[in-house]
Amino acid sequence: MLSEQMKEVLNNQINKEIYSAYLYMSMSAHSTFAGLNGFANWFMVQYQEEMTHAMKIYKYINDQGEKVKLMAITQPPTDFDSPLDMFEKTLKHEKFVTKSINELVDLSIKENDHATNIFLQWFVTEQIEEESNDNEIIAKLKLVGEGGNGLFMIDKELAQRVFTSS
């Protein structure tokens, strides 16, 4: 059983996760158009991950005998200055998602909602990994600068990423 407030914030979190998917799909589209197929692959895998995050919450609401309420998804930006710009925006967005997850955890503690608290632990751990991945790629991009061989090498590395559902 979920409280009305918990139901509402979990539904909102589905929307945030699908917006995240949409944002990274937009970054993937931009990368493809810029000839950066490795970056395009990385962001498309990220899109898939975000959809699994949304579906985890969708299933959890169902499992608690409640109804999922879907809302409009905001249009994401479609143009980016550079690969570094995309990853800085990714990190900024992930920090926003981390804050949102932390607020959900706070509410679960306040309501003594142990089931939701346990459910959210996976997301807490996932956010650490997501921010860490973004920080690592940002550091590499700063190291190599905006163009040339270094960017080509990073593009090749990001082409290796494969989607694994967890």
Q: Which residues are at the interface with ligand FEO (CB under 6 A)? A: 17, 20, 50, 53, 94, 97, 130
DSSP count for the chain of H helices, then E strands: 5, 0
Q: Which runs of consecutive H residues, i.e. helices, occur in 34-113?
A: 37-63, 83-110
Rounded to a whole number of angstroms, the minimum distance from the CB of residue 102 to ligand FEO is: 12
- Looking at the Cβ atoms of 115 and 124, the one nearer to ligand FEO is 124
- Looking at the Cβ atoms of 3 and 133, the one nearer to ligand FEO is 133
Rounded to a whole number of angstroms, the minimum distance from the CB of residue 112 to ligand FEO is: 26
Rounded to a whole number of angstroms, the minimum distance from the CB of residue 15 to ligand FEO is: 12
Rounded to a whole number of angstroms, the minimum distance from the CB of residue 50 to ligand FEO is: 5
- Looking at the Cβ atoms of 21 and 36, the one nearer to ligand FEO is 21
Residues 15, 71: Cα–Cα separation, whole Å: 7
Rounded to a whole number of angstroms, the minimum distance from the CB of residue 145 to ligand FEO is: 27
Tokens of 146: 């905006």
The residue at minimum Cβ distance from ligand FEO is 53
Q: What is the largest CA-CA distance in the chain?
A: 55
Residue pair 50/17 in contact by the 8 Å Cβ criterion: yes
Residues 144, 58: Cα–Cα separation, whole Å: 40
- Looking at the Cβ atoms of 13 and 31, the one nearer to ligand FEO is 13
Q: Kindly report the number of other CB atoms within 10 A of residue 80's CB atom.
A: 17
Cα 85 to chain center, whole Å?
Answer: 16
Map tokens 């994401």 to a residue: 76
- Looking at the Cβ atoms of 70 and 153, the one nearer to ligand FEO is 70
